[in-house]
Amino acid sequence: MSQKEHLVIFDTTLRDGEQSPGASMTKTEKLRIAKALERMRVDVIEAGFAIASPGDFDAVKAIAEAVRESTVCSLSRALDKDIDRAAEALQGAESARIHTFIATSPIHMQYKLQLPPDAVIEQAVRAVRRARNLVSDVEFSCEDAGRSEIDFLCRIIEAAIDAGATTINIPDTVGYAVPDQFGTMIRQLLERIPNADKAVFSVHCHNDLGLAVANSLAAVTNGARQVECTINGLGERAGNASLEEIVMAVRTRQDHFDVQTRLDTSHIVPTSRLVSTVTGFPVQPNKAIVGANAFAHESGIHQDGVLKHRETYEIMRAQDVGWHTNSIVLGKHSGRNAFRTRLQELGIQFETETELNEAFARFKDLADRKHEIFDEDLQAIASDSKSLEVEERFKLVCMNVCSETGVIPRANVTLMIDGKEHTAESDGSGPVDATYQAIEAITSSGCSLQLYSVNSITSGTDAQGEVTVRLERGGRIVNGLGADTDIVIASAKAYVHALNLISTDTQRQHPQGDV
């Protein structure tokens, strides 16, 4: 049997994934996710867009210094200032990559760049050469390649490889491609470009038509040897190709694919939960691989078959993707060391002993109200620490909510604002609505509620409820998170957290959309 080729897994959760409206992450959250990706043995971690903002630069720099087992990458436009800033952020990396790009489709060149094709090639070559003088690993992307003319793609890619590009990325930026057409494009590029053997060909597919994974796998079948993807398929608009689906498709269908990855798939589910908790984007129950129902069997026929022989209805083992990680259960008698150790196993670390102590206090408080503490509960406790990184202008002091049959719900809420207590009462259509009306009566924030989502973190009537609140003000969108065994309190925490986020001057500015 011939040796299978290596398929490079390039994760862009921290860059393209963060471009989902409301999915912005703090530096600490990005570090947690980067370390989880490193444990999973992801080949390349795109840590961000270094020139996009000071916060993005700091996050890329911190990840470059912390991650040693994966290549750390920063995106940059084909501009000198972008490339220099990316190189500066990546100085501390064990293995660094600059990912530079320029649009290549007729519509983008004419209306966005307003450059003729020859000028686009010239700018691409200059950018790749500059990047290659700074790092040895340079990726070049043809933005909107899915709608580009193949003759022009051949010209610009050949020139980019001659200039020193080691990876060539073919993005379906707007999710327009279909699998047979996209796979054929990859094969033709590999056949027609004279120096194609001197670079790894990559794909970055968006999911606007629900075909991102299918297009990516069609490209792999036709010779692509890197796939750019995200945890949970997070990303701009309808998202990106899902890392977990790409990796498990290749692993499960070894009879079809001539490639293999180096990933430790047992970290897939914990990492999925971490990304979901940090971003506030819940995973749908029927999501492949990481959804709560992915390995659940309701039908009696299916249950009978699985009990007799698992492979009758399961093509993968749940344990292989990390569904067994919930076996260690903590409770109110667990000590600080057990708590710290389990957090470290989940990739959760606190920068100071004070933060750890505060998290441990929240753990003990929860353990008094809940018999068993699961990994998901610990993720939620750690997420509460997000508020420690944001200036807490608003703080929930206490609240009293009355909800009775035949009586209009009423909430009394006290907030601490800039060190001074304020109280308000309000009616509402339900206890949560009344609570939010009371909070708004105090803050007059001017925010618009875009999303209210409740998820049970674990099973059972004593489970914590995790609430995600998305607020918009002046074009800025933030996600607030709150968790508690009382869902109304969790809702208030989430709203207050969002108010604190939207009140800080941390708005990200992307000089360029996506690739």
- Kindly report the CA angle at 430 between 489 and 434, in degrees rounded to 5? 65
- Separation CA 42–CA 63 (nearest Å): 14
User: Which of 443, 441, 455 minimizes the C-alpha distance to 502?
Assistant: 443
CB 30 within 8 A of CB 47: yes
Q: Which two tokens stand for residue 59?
A: 């996050």
CB 211 within 8 A of CB 19: no
Q: Which two tokens stand for residue 69?
A: 């087992």
Q: Sort strands 465-473 and 448-456 into parallel, antiparallel or unpaired.
A: antiparallel
User: Which of 251, 269, 271 minimizes the C-alpha distance to 260?
Assistant: 251
- Separation CA 283–CA 266 (nearest Å): 18
Q: Which two tokens stand for residue 154?
A: 């051949």
Within 10 angstroms of residue 278's Cβ, the number of other Cβ atoms is 24
Per-residue burial over 320-332, b if 16 or more Cβ lie within 10 Å, else e, is: bbbbebeeeebee
- Separation CA 350–CA 251 (nearest Å): 35
Q: Could you read off the pLDDT tens digit of each residue along the chain, which spans 515 residues?
A: 468 999 999 999 999 998 887 777 889 889 999 999 999 999 999 999 999 999 999 999 999 999 999 999 999 999 999 999 999 999 999 999 999 999 999 999 999 999 999 999 999 999 999 999 999 999 999 999 999 999 999 999 999 999 999 999 999 999 999 999 999 999 999 999 999 999 999 999 999 999 999 999 999 999 999 999 999 999 999 999 999 999 999 999 999 999 999 999 999 988 998 898 888 788 888 898 888 777 664 445 444 554 555 566 566 777 777 775 444 456 667 777 778 887 877 777 777 788 888 888 888 888 777 667 777 777 777 766 544 456 788 999 999 999 999 999 999 999 999 889 999 999 999 999 999 999 999 999 999 999 898 877 766 777 788 888 989 898 888 888 888 889 999 999 999 999 998 887 544 454 445 55
**Which pLDDT does position 328 carry in this prediction?**
46
CB 245 within 8 A of CB 252: no
Domains of the chain: 5-279 (3.20.20.70), 295-323 (no CATH), 336-386 (no CATH), 390-502 (3.30.160.270)
Could you say which DSSP state residue 497 is in? H
- Separation CA 338–CA 343 (nearest Å): 9
Q: Sort strands 96-103 and 226-229 into parallel, antiparallel or unpaired.
A: unpaired
- Residues in contact with 339: Cβ distance below 8 Å, sequence separation at least 6, in sequence order: 330, 359, 360, 363
What is the DSSP secondary-structure string of 409-423? EEEEEEEEETTEEEE
Residue 318's identity, in one-letter code, is A
- With H, G, I as helix, E, B as strand and everything else as coil, classify residue 85: helix
Q: Which helix (H) or strand (E) holds 343?
A: helix 336-345
Partners of residue 455 on adjacent β-strands: 466
What is the DSSP secondary-structure string of 212-249? HHHHHHHHHHTT--EEEEBGGG--STT-B-BHHHHHHH
**Which pLDDT does position 380 carry in this prediction?**
74
**Which pLDDT does position 296 carry in this prediction?**
63
Q: Which helix (H) or strand (E) holds 71?
A: strand 71-77
Q: Which two tokens stand for residue 75?
A: 């995106």
Q: Sort strands 407-417 and 420-427 into parallel, antiparallel or unpaired.
A: antiparallel
Could you say which DSSP state residue 40 is in? T
**Which pLDDT does position 2 carry in this prediction?**
62
- Separation CA 407–CA 387 (nearest Å): 35
User: Which of 16, 19, 18, 41 minimizes the C-alpha distance to 29?
Assistant: 18
Within 10 angstroms of residue 179's Cβ, the number of other Cβ atoms is 18
- Separation CA 177–CA 147 (nearest Å): 8
**Which pLDDT does position 222 carry in this prediction?**
98
Could you say which DSSP state residue 80 is in? H
Q: Which two tokens stand for residue 198?
A: 């001197």
Could you say which DSSP state residue 84 is in? H
What is the DSSP secondary-structure string of 132-198? HTT-S-EEEEEETGGGS-HHHHHHHHHHHHHHT-SEEEEEETTS---HHHHHHHHHHHHHH-TTGGG
Q: What are phi and psi of 250, to 5 degrees?
A: -65, -40
- Separation CA 188–CA 182 (nearest Å): 10
Burial degree of 384 (CB within 10 A; 0-12, 13-18, 19+): middle
pTM above threshold 0.95: no
